[in-house]
């Protein structure tokens, strides 16, 4: 029995390590330190994080389920690189889901929820002021996911979280101006509508906000990968 408990503890430890590596890589992708198309070499990642290649492989597999990493036959793993068609589909799906979700969130929004959303905006402003556009974009995405959480629709919230995640890659590839990061006035207006429990206004604001976001993309512009994984991750 003791051996069994010991085995379970080891498995739990390995699982925690895989999750922490996957989380660190996911954050680096969302913050654009690892742009779309970056090669994710198992040996390099194992050395950077001080774990085994097996654990790196498991972490990359977890990220592939989130469509953040893609495996290419005989070439290895890469940060996913959404096509123009995928980019359009992602934002079309967001336009279908998020306005109605914002409407629902307005009916359920509490003062605590409003404070949490405002904290997101403050952190986003701080990142922009520091010139950390990647982190600002990541926080902007979390703002949208938080609205979905407030709406208390778990299935839809899960879809939105995945769409927002894909959007981060799309923006990394195709943004035309830094205002592809959600502009502060748009989020401020959304918070005001949510705090006032004004569902129709929240829905309309989300629609126009997503339209502005799409208009900020340049479908000809693409970014280059970093010089090395160590440069991007350390």
What lies within 8 Å, CB to CB, of 35 at 6+ separation is 79, 172, 173, 223, 224, 225, 226
91-105, 108-122, 141-155, 180-194: the lowest-pLDDT one: 180-194
Mean pLDDT of the chain: 85
Domains defined for the chain, CATH in brackets: 2-81 (1.10.10.10), 84-215 (1.20.120.530)
The pLDDT of 9-24, averaged and rounded, is 72
Whether the pTM exceeds 0.75: the reply is: no
Would you say 123 and 107 are in contact if contact means Cβ atoms under 8 Å apart? no
The residue among 168, 173, 94 whose CA lies nearest residue 134 is 168
Confidence label for 159 from pLDDT (cuts 50, 70 and 90): very high
Confidence label for 227 from pLDDT (cuts 50, 70 and 90): low
Residue 161, both tokens:
């979280």
**pLDDT of 223 higher than 80:** no
- Between 107 and 82, residue with greater pLDDT: 107
Query: Each residue of 37-73: pLDDT tens digit?
Result: 899 999 999 999 999 999 999 999 999 988 899 999 8
Query: Each residue of 73-98: pLDDT tens digit?
Result: 889 999 998 888 888 899 999 999 99
Query: Each residue of 187-217: pLDDT tens digit?
Result: 999 999 999 999 999 999 999 999 888 888 8
| CB-count burial class (<10 Å; 0-12, 13-18, 19+) for 61 | middle
pLDDT at 77: 94
Rounded Cα–Cα distance for residues 181 and 209 (Å): 11
Would you say 186 and 209 are in contact if contact means Cβ atoms under 8 Å apart? yes
**pLDDT of 182 higher than 60:** no
Rounded Cα–Cα distance for residues 205 and 232 (Å): 36
Would you say 170 and 70 are in contact if contact means Cβ atoms under 8 Å apart? no
- Between 19 and 107, residue with greater pLDDT: 107
Longest dimension (CA), the chain: 61
- Between 227 and 228, residue with greater pLDDT: 228
Rounded Cα–Cα distance for residues 65 and 21 (Å): 15
Which residue matches tokens 């307005």? 106
Q: How many CA atoms lie within 13 A of 223 on its CB side?
A: 26
pLDDT at 32: 80
Rounded Cα–Cα distance for residues 31 and 196 (Å): 32
**pLDDT of 33 higher than 90:** no
Residue 177, both tokens:
């101006």
Considering 22-31, 39-48, 181-190, the range whose residues carry the highest mean pLDDT is 39-48
pLDDT at 3: 42
67 to 59, 78, 214: CA distances (angstroms): 13, 11, 20
Residue 114, both tokens:
């409003």
**pLDDT of 7 higher than 80:** no
Would you say 103 and 199 are in contact if contact means Cβ atoms under 8 Å apart? yes
Residue 233, both tokens:
């991750």
Confidence label for 177 from pLDDT (cuts 50, 70 and 90): low
């Amino acid at each position: 029995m003791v051996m069994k408990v010991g085995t379970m503890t080891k498995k739990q430890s390995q699982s925690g390590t895989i999750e922490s590596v996957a989380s660190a890589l996911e954050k680096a992708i969302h913050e654009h330190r690892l742009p779309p198309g970056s090669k994710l070499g198992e040996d390099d990642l194992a050395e950077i994080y001080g774990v085994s290649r097996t654990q790196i492989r498991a972490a990359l597999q977890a990220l592939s389920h989130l469509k953040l990493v893609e495996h290419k036959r005989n070439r290895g793993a890469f940060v996913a690189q959404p096509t123009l068609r995928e980019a359009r589909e992602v934002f079309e799906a967001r336009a279908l889901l998020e306005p109605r979700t914002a409407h629902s969130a307005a009916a359920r929004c509490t003062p605590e929820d409003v404070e949490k959303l405002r904290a997101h905006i403050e952190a986003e402003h701080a990142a922009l002021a520091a010139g950390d556009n990647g982190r600002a974009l990541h926080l902007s995405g979390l703002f949208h996911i938080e609205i979905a959480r407030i709406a208390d629709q778990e299935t839809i919230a899960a879809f939105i979280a995945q769409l927002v995640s894909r959007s981060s890659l799309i923006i990394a590839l195709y943004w035309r101006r830094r205002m592809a990061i959600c502009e502060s006035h748009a989020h401020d207006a959304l918070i005001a509508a949510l705090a006032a429990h004004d569902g129709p206004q929240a829905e309309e604001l989300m629609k126009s906000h997503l339209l502005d976001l799409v208009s900020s993309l340049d479908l000809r512009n693409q970014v280059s990968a970093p010089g090395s994984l160590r440069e991007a991750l350390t």
